[in-house]
Structure 1
Amino acid sequence: MSLRADLSSADLDEIRQSALGAADPLGVAAELAEAAESGRLADEEDAGYALALAGEIAESRAKHDAALRYVDRALEAYGKRDDSRVGAARGLRARILFRVGREDEAVAELEPLRPLLTQYGDAAAYVSAALAVGGRHRVAEEWLTEAVKTALAGRDGEPASADDAGLLFFLLQQRHRVRHVLGLPHDTHDNLAERLETKLANTSAQAAATPADDLLFFPRAEFDQVIAEWPALAEVYGGDWDEHRARLERELVRLAGVGRTGLALLRGSAAGLKRQEGDRAAYAKQLTGEISWPPERNAPCWCGSGSKYKKCCRPRV
């Protein structure tokens, strides 16, 4: 597999979904590292992401020394950045350290990530995954419990915003899974996690209100045509297809968090929107094709990428 020049963030996302099925995944990892370090990325700030992805591929093939080298170079490339991607890279580094028996170093890598549990929706997944590799399920349960309590503190059990609702959902969900692994009895937070899961799975019920035009979903080719025809709609739908999907996923999580059931996306097209002269609300009202949300974790993602939901749009919070 030969990677083209000027790889974008979207290209890297696609490689992440397909690399493990490639004929030579380690070759893909090496090419990613070379692309990051020779300036063959569309955005030089993606160098850390490309190198971390190389580390993830090497780890999956038990090439732990190479994986650790890649992730160390990723963290160097990230520099002083402090966001969820950096946290994910540090979680990956801790995971690799656990695999090679350097447990004290792994725990030291994870400790500073604890505050991220109440800042980023995907932090619960990469922190608990690293602890699971080290057999530290009880530590994961302790950290997630503390994060849930922090997320709920002073709010009478109700999240203060849509972002808080999404974050709480993923915290509760991850904590619930860890407690299941440990065989612990259900508590109040477990019951809340199950109620939220049930609400989200209840896609057969009708939505409480007419779907809003901001739940319009455009497949990749259609999205590109829409933005080319109406550049101002990038403010509404996102500047690229990845942002488009991420915005929709966040909005669906928010709606689920406030009790909406029967959630679905409206599949749109550039031609259809053009017939309505770019009037989004009018176009949404006449659409009938819906995509139920959420899919099962192992089912194909709602966006049509062909990847499983759990490895595609679900982590995008």
Structure 2
Amino acid sequence: MLGMPSTNLVSEDELDAMGAEALRADDPQPILAELLDIIEQGRLADPASEGYALELAAEISQWQGDLDTALELTERALAGAQQPAEQQGYPRALRAEILVQLGREVEGMSELDALRPLLATDPSAVDYLRDTLEACDRAELAEQWLTEAMRVVLARFQDGDRTDAEDGEASADPAVLVALARQRHDLRRELDLEPDELDEVAEELADESEDAEDTGDVDEPELYGLDSLDGDEFTLVYWPRQEFDQLTKEWPELATVTGPSWDDHRMWTERALAAYAEQGVRHLHLVAGSAADVLAFVAERDAGDDDLELVDEYGELLADQGGGTRWPPEREDDCWCGSATRYESCCLLRSRVE
């Protein structure tokens, strides 16, 4: 990406690749400079991507500790946004986090408080607002907000899942309830809080999702290598960078299920795991695949290059052997993908990219 001729237009996929490269780089400054050049020179294939490009540049600046630049870039992204303010939740949360990190806590927390109603209407807001509050050292406040939002959503279900046109009350959304229950339950365990009645609701929702999984009512992510261990636990095969490169070189057809690049593979894997967590699967694991082993596994069966389901069988074999890495890691721990970057700044962030 670096050294790209100035006439080239840059797609969102290429922006994603730049962000992933910045995460891995010891010094992401050259990547940030290239990204800013792309923005300033109008080299985005889709002009509507400018807000995303600015957010990405702001995040890289934040990772580097250049909070003033990060704030400036975030404000540029918000100023040029084409969508209404209520649809700018993530960049507003990012701006709030940076403000708190700069010591402007009143401004930052005021911004987050303005976003708080989204917890009862937007499943994605449940994720990024919890993460932002924790990054601002306000995990207890996050638990309070999630609790209150969950009670609001539960009340809507008790009222018959209706929309009140007169007072503008939103209808109950099962996806919001599941997101709130999962995030709140997970956060309370991190805080070592005793289970309460809403934790019981979270467990009930998880059990219902598990029953749906057992009866085939829940669609599985279309990724090979997924196998049930005991009905409550799943393992997903992923390919570390070196293994991925070797495997896709030897078996190019596999790119349709692993992803065309390692960055895509990591993103797809993270999203698949998040989807299972949303469905209530409580024990998720990752196990690293070996290119040499899976190629030998396929060769022993005299299969053709189009017999991609053999990768699933290979995954079942690994699952039967047990072990693996539990997902998700702690936000401050190294990412599961082996990038040597903190999870919160690597695949957790990658999964949010649309």
Structure 1 length-normalised TM: 0.65
Of 101, 119, 127 in structure 2, the residue corresponding to residue 122 of structure 1 is 127
SS in 2 for 1:32: helix
Give the partner amino acid of 1:3. L
Decide whether the 8 Å contact of 2:44 with 2:50 is kept in 1: yes
Tell whether the 8 Å contact from 2:123 to 2:176 is kept in structure 1 after alignment: no
| CA–CA distance in structure 1, aligned partners of residues 284 and 61 of structure 2 | 41
Structure 1 CA distance for aligned equivalents of residues 245 and 177 of structure 2: 32
Structure-to-structure mapping, 1:169-184, within 5 angstroms: 169-174=182-187, 177=190, 180=191
Residue 229 (str. 1) matches residue 253 (str. 2): yes
Give the equivalent residue in structure 2 for 1:70.
73
Instruction: Give the superposition deviation at 1:175.
Output: 5.3
The structure with the larger Rg is: 2
Counterpart residue identity of residue 172, structure 1: H
Percent identity for Structure 1 against Structure 2:
31
Query: In 2, Cα distance between the equivalents of 1:151 and 1:265?
Result: 36
Cα distance in structure 2, aligned partners of 1:254 and 1:79? 29
Q: CA deviation at 1:207?
A: 0.8
**Which aligned pairs between 1:103-252 and structure 2 lie closer than 5 A?**
103-117=105-119, 118-120=122-124, 122-129=127-134, 132=136, 139-150=141-152, 154=157, 165=178, 168-174=181-187, 177=190, 180=191, 187-189=196-198, 207-208=229-230, 215-219=236-240, 220-221=244-245, 228-229=252-253, 233=256, 241-252=262-273
Match of 1:311 in 2: 345
Cα 1:104–1:262 shift into 2, 3 Å: closer
1:255-277 deviation per Cα after TM superposition (whole angstroms, max 9, x unaligned): 45544646445737585668444
Checking the alignment, whether the CA contact within 8 Å between 1:144 and 1:175 is kept in structure 2 is no
Give the counterpart letter for 1:248 in structure 2.
T
- Cα separation, 2, equivalents of 1:194 and 1:261: 13
1:72-91 matched pairs, under 5 angstroms: 72-80=75-83, 86-91=88-93
Q: Deviations over 1:20-40 (max 9, x none)?
A: x41xx5665444322222244
Report the CA distance between 1:51 and its aligned residue.
2.1
CA distance in 2, matches of 1:164, 1:242: 31
Distance in 1, Cα, partners of 2:99 & 2:284: 43
- The alpha carbon displacement at 1:107 in A equals 3.6
| Change in CA separation of 1:186 and 1:88 when aligned onto 2, cut-off 3 Å | same
1:173 alignment partner AA: D
Give the C-alpha shift of residue 190 in structure 1: 6.2
* 1:282 shift after superposition: 3.5
In structure 2, give the amino acid aligned to 1:217.
Y
1:245 is paired with a residue of what secondary structure?
A: helix
Q: Name the CA shift for 1:26/1:266 in 2 (closer, same or farther; >3 Å).
A: closer
Distance 2:130 2:143 in 1: 12
Cα distance in 1 for partners of 2:187, 2:48 equals 30
- 122 and 192 in structure 1: CA distance in 2 versus 1, 3 angstrom threshold: same
Secondary structure of 1:122's counterpart equals: helix
| 2:20–2:263 contact (8 Å) kept in structure 1 | no
Conserved in 2, the CA contact under 8 Å of 1:3 and 1:31? yes
Q: 1:166 to 1:218 in 2, by over 3 A?
A: farther
Q: Unpaired segments of 5 or more residues in structure 1?
A: 197-205
Q: Show the counterpart of 1:18.
A: 24
Between the two proteins, the alignment pairs up a number of residues equal to: 289
